[in-house]
Structures are given as structure tokens and as C-alpha cells.
Amino acid sequence: MAEAVLIGVVVILIVVNIILLLLYMSAKSSPYYVVYDEETKNALKRRVTSLKEDLESELVDFDVEEWEKTLEESIDEEVRNL
């Protein structure tokens, strides 16, 4: 009885090791992350900061009432075209 349990545990451990090996090979062939050097990382940070500032300045200039008016006109025109 003890031998059967021991054989079962060994078989389970072998299967688990095979699964872990397959997962490792899969992760190694297609990594989910990218490592950047400091220069690239700083360039990306500057670009994101620039885009953020541009977006914030556009949002300040954005007029909701004018946008709604344009949208309503566009909808009315589409309805007339139907």
C-alpha cells in the first residue's frame, strides 16, 4: 500500500514538473514585459509627459456647449438624410 502511494506521488511530481517546464518554455519564447535601458525609459517618460500636457491643454480649450450644438446639428442632418 505504501509503495502505491509513493509511486502515485512520484508520478504526480513528474507531471507537475513537465507542466512547469512547458509553462517556462512558453513564457521564455514570448515574454510579457520589455526591459528598457535608462535612455529609452527617460525618452518614453518625456513623451508621455508631453502628451499629457497636450491633452490637458486641449481639455481646457474644449467647449462642451459648442460640441453638443455641433453634435445635435449632425444628428439632425443625418435624420433629414434618412
Query: Which string of DSSP letters, residue by residue, matches 24-57?
Result: HHHHHHS-S-----HHHHHHHHHHHHHHHHHHHH
pLDDT interval class at 28 (50, 70, 90): confident
Looking at 27-31, 42-46, 50-54, which range is the least confident one? 27-31
pLDDT interval class at 52 (50, 70, 90): very high
Reported pTM: 0.39
pLDDT interval class at 31 (50, 70, 90): low
Give me the mean pLDDT over the 26-50 stretch.
83
